[in-house]
Amino acid sequence: MCIHSEGKVLGDIDEPACMLSVTEGHLAGLTKRVLLLDDPELSKLNDHEAFELLNRALYLDDERTIAEVVMDAEKYRKFDFLTNGGESFDGSKSFIVLSSNHVRILFTDRADKFQTMRVHMEVFCKVIGDFLNWLKKEGENVPV
Residue 82 lies in a domain: yes
Residues 6+ apart with CB under 8 A from 32: none
pLDDT of residue 141: 78
Residue 59 lies in a domain: yes
pLDDT tens digits for range 73-125: 999 999 999 888 888 888 889 999 999 899 999 999 777 889 999 999 999 99
pLDDT of residue 129: 93
Residue 88 lies in a domain: yes
Could you tell me if 102 and 113 are in contact, meaning their C-beta atoms sit under 8 angstroms apart? no
Give the sheet arrangement for strand 114-120, strand by strand: 93-99, 102-108, 114-120
Neighbours of 45 (CB within 10 A): 18
Residue 52 lies in a domain: yes
Residue 24 lies in a domain: no
Strands (E), the chain: 2-5, 8-11, 93-99, 102-108, 114-120
Q: Give the C-alpha separation, 127 to 101, whole Å.
A: 15
Tell me the sheet residues that pair with 137: none
Residue 135 lies in a domain: yes
On the question of pLDDT at 142 being above 90, the answer is no
Give the domain extent around 50.
41-139
Residue 123 lies in a domain: yes
Domain total of the chain:
1
Residue 50 lies in a domain: yes
